[in-house]
Amino acid sequence: MHLYEVLRRPLITEKATLLKEGNKYVFEVAKEATKPQIKEAVEKAFKVEVVKVNIITVSGKTKRMGRREVTSPSWKKAIVTLEPENKITFFEGV
C-alpha cells in the first residue's frame, strides 16, 4: 500500500480537539493499514516524530429505510501520539 493511500482524512471532532492538547491527533485511515504503515505515513507527510499509534475499528451503523435495514460500512481510525516538541500545523486554528 502506498503511503498516500494510508491516511484518508483528519477527523476534527470535539473529542479529537480535546486530544490535541495531549499532543494526539486523529485520522481516518485505510482498512488494511497497519500501525507501522500509519506511523511512517504521518512521519513522512507532516515531518514529525511519532511515539505511539492506537487503532480503533468503528463498526457501521444500521439504519432503516422503509422495510429495509441498511448498514453503513465499517471504517478505521488512528490516534497518533507525537513527541512533546512536535506539532502538526495542519490542525492549528481549528
Quickly name the fold that domain 3-83 has: Alpha-Beta Plaits (3.30.70)
Where exactly are the structural domains of the chain?
A: 3-83
- Distance separating alpha carbons of residues 44 and 22, to the nearest angstrom: 21
26-42 pLDDT, tens digit per residue, is 999 999 999 999 999 99
8 A C-beta contact, residue 48 and residue 27: no
What is the pTM (predicted TM-score) of this model?
Answer: 0.88
57-82 pLDDT, tens digit per residue, is 999 999 999 999 999 999 999 999 99
Neighbours of 40 (CB within 10 A): 14
Dihedral sign of CA atoms 56, 43, 88, 82 in order: positive
Quote the pLDDT of residue 16.
92
Bridge partners for 53 per DSSP: 80
- Rounded mean pLDDT of 42-49? 94
Residue 8 CB-half CA count within 13 A? 14
